[in-house]
Amino acid sequence: MPDIRGEKKVRDTFSGFGVISMGRRFCEGLRVHLRVVSWRLWNWYVHLWKLALVALGMIFIILLLAHILSLKGVSGPLMATILGNFLAKHEQMLPLVGLAKDVILTGATIVAGIWSYYVFIKGRTFRPRLSINVRMHYVCGRRRDVAVVRVSIRNEGRTRIRPALAQAAFSYGILSENGVVEFRPFHVVENMLDEYYRRTERFALEPQDEMHIDVPVPLSLTMGSELLTQDTTIGIHVKIKVWDIGYRCWQENAILQTSVSEV
């Protein structure tokens, strides 16, 4: 099996001694940072709108209650009575109360419509959905033993998804007759998309599209070839996490089993 990482390092080295690669990584990091800042500003903006709507609603309820009490001449709580007397003396504020009521009702209707669209229509019908499938076949080489793990990522939704980061963490355990020995972490891939998958700058998964990533996992470097006898059964725990450019995350856990005798 060719050393993909080695080829990548050599290619980066001869591309202007890695300057192009460094500039590309800097631009990607800056772009991610700007997206995080914009996302936080958007969250603050939404919270301010919620506080403003709550404040307007409370003011509307108080003014409406005072208006009703002033018209019917009903004595109520102290605050309502004070407001009712104030409105009775300042009749020019009554149209303002009606205008505030119309504005608040219109704003509430618009906000409810937008909220319903994002929660029920876009949030359910067009919600991004990914399925992750992991399978493995065992390869025994002369120099080192390699487990090739194939990660399949499929877009199950109705919207386009742009994967930005895919991490994989591997743990191993020797399966005995009594059960699984304690799994121990031994291999981590920070980003499978950059290391093992060639993609364009505007790469995206269209609805019902599927991508496959083959990740070679060296076993003998950690476990030692003396543990891998002909009757040894290998159990590998795989944890996959995939993020898109919108910082949504999907993850999958799987325990893969294979035997040396299956080669």
Most confident of 10-19, 126-135, 136-145, 222-231: 126-135
Query: Which of 93, 127, 161 is the last residue before a domain boundary?
Result: 127
Residue 108's domain comprises 1-127
pLDDT score at 2: 41
Residues 119 and 178 in one domain: no
Give the C-alpha separation, 31 to 85, whole Å.
58
Residues 71 and 134 in one domain: no
Query: Which of 60, 94, 127 is the last residue before a domain boundary?
Result: 127
Lowest mean pLDDT among 33-37, 40-44, 112-116, 118-122: 118-122
Residues 195 and 210 in one domain: yes
Give the C-alpha separation, 53 to 47, whole Å.
10
Residues 201 and 92 in one domain: no
Residues 7 and 112 in one domain: yes
Residue 156 CB contacts under 8 Å (≥ 6 apart), including other chains: 129, 130, 131, 208
Residues 114 and 148 in one domain: no
Amino acid found at 41: L
Q: What is the CATH number of the domain that holds 137?
A: 2.60.40.10
Residues 254 and 146 in one domain: yes
Average pLDDT over residues 217-244: 69
Residues 106 and 90 in one domain: yes
What 3-state class would DSSP assign to 155? strand
Question: What's the domain count of the chain?
Answer: 2
- The larger pLDDT score, comparing residue 245 to residue 41, is at 245
Q: Is the pLDDT of residue 99 over 60?
A: yes
Residues 22 and 57 in one domain: yes
- DSSP string over 199-226: --TT--B-TT-EEEEEEEEE-HHHH-GG
Query: What secondary structure letter does DSSP report for 15?
Result: T
CA distances from 35 to 40, 191, 245, 246 (A): 9, 19, 9, 8
Residues 233 and 122 in one domain: no
pLDDT score at 185: 78
Helices (H), ranges, the chain: 4-14, 19-72, 78-89, 94-116, 192-196, 220-223
Residues 22 and 94 in one domain: yes
Query: Which of 69, 101, 127 is the last residue before a domain boundary?
Result: 127
In tens, the pLDDT along 113-163 reads 777 776 666 666 677 889 999 987 666 655 556 778 889 999 998 888 988
Give the C-alpha separation, 101 to 4, whole Å.
66
Would you place residue 251 in the very low, low, confident or very high pLDDT band (cuts 50, 70, 90)? very high
Residues 42 and 110 in one domain: yes
